[in-house]
Amino acid sequence: MNESAQHTPIELSYSSSRRELANWYWRTWRTKLWKFHLLCFTAALAAVVIIGGQWPPSIARVLAGAVVGGSLILCMFLFPQLMFKPHTRVIVFDESGIQTRIGKKTGNVPWRDIENIEDDSETICIRGKNLNAFLVPRRAFQSQEHRTRVLRTIREWARVEEPR
């Protein structure tokens, strides 16, 4: 890639689906989020047991804690689905970061707030340190070569290494 191409902003336009979001969440859950969810489940269970005020706790109290913990995890899964925006997204990558627009909503994310850029061959996932993510499907690119160039460029700009 020549030096001048590195300074040219890259603009993509695409729509995502709830299914793509659910698939990403499941992949993220299997590799990272399960630990956080286990901690939340355990904390909710412990809180309900402690609030019960007796030791050992009754089976009903333990079941109530499990229901609260499970409900909390279910809400964590449903929240991204409820916040999902099916409208066309315009995303612009440049040396300073990512600018995005969905309808009238806009946002900016500097590269320093990006934790990881993953490619599973169908979707490029650009995950922020806050666990929010941009999911860029294969159809957003003009060709495989275009996709490869964009991925290489944004990794350079983000200074994020390819996962091993």
User: pLDDT, tens digit, for every residue of 98-152?
Assistant: 999 988 889 999 999 999 898 888 889 898 888 788 889 999 999 999 999 999 9
Tally Cβ neighbours within 10 Å of residue 88.
12
Question: Whole-angstrom Cα distance, residue 18 to residue 24?
Answer: 10
Tokens of 73: 């995890």
- The architecture of the domain spanning 3-16+85-158 is Roll (2.30)
The per-residue pLDDT for range 149-159, each reduced to its tens digit, is 999 999 999 98
pTM above 0.95, yes or no: no
Q: Sort 35 into a burial class: Cβ within 10 Å, 0-12 / 13-18 / 19+.
A: exposed
Task: Return the domain boundaries, the chain.
Answer: 3-16+85-158, 20-83
